Structure 1
Amino acid sequence: MDVTPELLQESYAQLNEVLGTEQMMKVFEIYRGRQISFPMRLYDRKKVAQKIIAEYNGHNLVQLTHKYDYSQRWIRQMIRQNDSKTE
């Protein structure tokens, strides 16, 4: 299908700009007509919590907050929950 970029709906125009026409058409074919919302965070909370628990060494809280884009408060909470489970 030939695509005329200036006629595209705004969301498809943005996808076309970012992904290119071929990939935009794949998205169109798979998802057309659906309402899609993307989570604010890239990573899954449960999976991040497991990684943080595995990587936390008692001194790297700030590094983990930057690496996974979660607050220090949330990371401390995950560590405390894990500590209470292991006791």
Structure 2
Amino acid sequence: MAKLIDSSALQPVYQKLEELIGEDSMLKVFDYYHGSQVSLPSHLYNRNTAAIQIRKRYNGTNQAELGRYYGYSQRWVVNVLAEDKSAKKEE
């Protein structure tokens, strides 16, 4: 397949995107976001929805595993689970 663009003349961010995701995907990102300033969160998963999933998937011993999976610290997972316990006590 012939290249549609001259990679050597791209802005550095678009060069890196082309390298990471390929020309077609980079052009889709460009078409959708060009002219915008994009800031990406440091966590892949949303804190609130990750907390819900952690509460569902917790088996009594897997805090560290859940923290690694969702990209949060074990301490944060323990706090999420502790909040859940304290909310139940208040009821």
Q: Deviation of residue 30 (structure 1)?
A: 0.7
State how far apart, in whole Å, the 1-side matches of 2:47 and 2:19 are. Answer: 30
Moved over 6 A (4+): none
Gaps of 5+ in 2: none
Please give the per-residue CA displacement for 1:31-51, whole angstroms capped at 9, x wherever unaligned: 001000100111111011011
Gaps of 5+ in 1: none
State how far apart, in whole Å, the 1-side matches of 2:63 and 2:32 are. Answer: 40
Q: CA RMSD for the aligned pairs? A: 1.5
1:53 equivalenced with 2:55 (yes/no): yes
1:26 equivalenced with 2:36 (yes/no): no
TM-score, length-scaled by structure 1: 0.90
Residue 44 of structure 2: SS of its match in structure 1?
A: coil
1:74 equivalenced with 2:76 (yes/no): yes
State how far apart, in whole Å, the 2-side matches of 1:23 and 1:60 are. Answer: 37
Please give the per-residue CA displacement for 1:32-85, whole angstroms capped at 9, x wherever unaligned: 010001001111110110111111122112221222221111111101111122
Residue 58 of structure 1: SS of its match in structure 2?
A: coil
